[in-house]
Chain A
Amino acid sequence: MSGLTPLLVDGLFPNGIAHYALGGLLIGLGTAVIYLGTGVIAGASTFLESTLSYVSDLPRFNKAKYVASRDWRVVFTLSIVAGAALYTVLFGDGWWVSDVQPWRFAVGGVLVGVGTRIGKGCTSGHGVCGVGSRSRTSLVNVATFMLVAIGVAQLLSALGVSP
């Protein structure tokens, strides 16, 4: 039996768990800092619509809460970019570029844009904040996108799409 546990851990977590757990704690900490200071749930996908209010007259994007928050959401997003760059420069092993095929980014990106806005949130708003507050709405949303994403990714992989 003593040989089985490390084997199982290696199989499920071939890259270990330390950096995953540490990164997760920091993601939660970043969200918590903003919440403690402002009382706002820092979702990342609202930025998409609130930023569109700068260039579009559609009432949907010009709701008071979007116009009121659009400036700090731009700052939030740029800070996320800067935080990731800071890690890469200080502790990373150089800049990194994905090999995933561009069409997957294009098609997937559009669906993410539609789905997160219709579903009222994404991996941060529903996944991190909503699950953290044990919101049933968020738990349903997360279970839904997780199951569908697993199905789609496995299907593409089975069809030989890689990466």
Chain B
Amino acid sequence: MLVVIAGGLIFGFGLAVSNMARPEVVLDFLQFDDFGLLFVMGGAAVVTGTVFALAEAFGDRAPLTGRDYGRRLKSFDKNVVVGGVIFGAGWGISGICPGAAYASVGIGNYPILIAIGGMFVGAYLQGLWRARRAESAATGTSAD
């Protein structure tokens, strides 16, 4: 748990340093007024890419969980694109994504709680909708 706390603190600290916790900065990037965000995402991916590769090459398994350091690749299907479109629309409207929203609370930006509430509503709605769809698929189409 200490590792999670340390990692979360550094992660949130970094989001505050980079100003990505401010929706205005993300919107400035999306509107091509300031391309600095490329360095945030690029810098983060360079670090994770290097560490992941080194862990895979020289490490054995994680000391705390015993999980091995393999690549964690998510399977590709059309949901990856559909979800990306919906998330992109939301990111473009609000300028905020989940991790940055949590950090935004930490810099004092209380209106962001509206966005976090919205994220929970959205996550709940997609779960409900998927459950309904799975149910109707299981019972057939007798209703129509």
Task: Give A residues with C-beta under 8 Å from B.
Answer: 12-17, 19-42, 44-45, 47-49, 51-52, 56, 58-61, 72, 75-88, 91-92, 94-100, 102, 104-124, 126-138, 140-157, 163
Contacts and interface: CB of A to CB of B under 8 A. Distances in A.
A109 B4 CA distance: 25
Nearest to B55: A36
A13 B4 CA distance: 33
Q: Which of B24, B43, B49, B98 has the most CB of A within 10 A?
A: B98
B43 A20 contact: yes
Interface of B: 1, 3-24, 27, 30-49, 51-52, 55, 59, 61-69, 71-76, 79-112, 114-128, 130-131
26 contacts: A12-B35, A20-B43, A23-B14, A26-B13, A28-B47, A30-B6, A32-B48, A34-B7, A47-B98, A75-B1, A76-B4, A80-B15, A82-B106, A84-B106, A95-B109, A98-B104, A100-B27, A107-B90, A108-B95, A108-B118, A113-B125, A114-B126, A127-B41, A127-B45, A140-B81, A152-B91
Contacts of B61: 39
A157 B92 CA distance: 10
Nearest to A28: B47
B125 to A, nearest CB: 6
| Interface of chain B, main secondary structure | helix
A135 B71 contact: yes
Contacts of A154: 30-32
B118 A107 contact: yes
A137 B64 CA distance: 28
A133 B49 contact: yes
B6 A97 contact: no
A104 to B, nearest CB: 5
Given A58-B128, A115-B90, A96 B12 contact: no
B39 A21 contact: yes
A84 B55 CA distance: 28
Given A16-B36, A44-B98, A98-B23, 8 more contacts: A27-B20, A56-B124, A79-B8, A81-B102, A85-B108, A107-B94, A133-B71, A149-B89
Contact of A146 (B15, B35, B88): B88
A23 B17 contact: yes
Nearest to A90: B13
B1 to A, nearest CB: 6
Contact of B16 (A42, A87, A146, A151): A87
Contacts of B3: 33-34, 37-38
A55 to B, nearest CB: 9
Contact of B12 (A52, A79, A163): A79
B107 A96 contact: yes
B124 to A, nearest CB: 6
Contacts of A81: 12, 102-103, 105-106
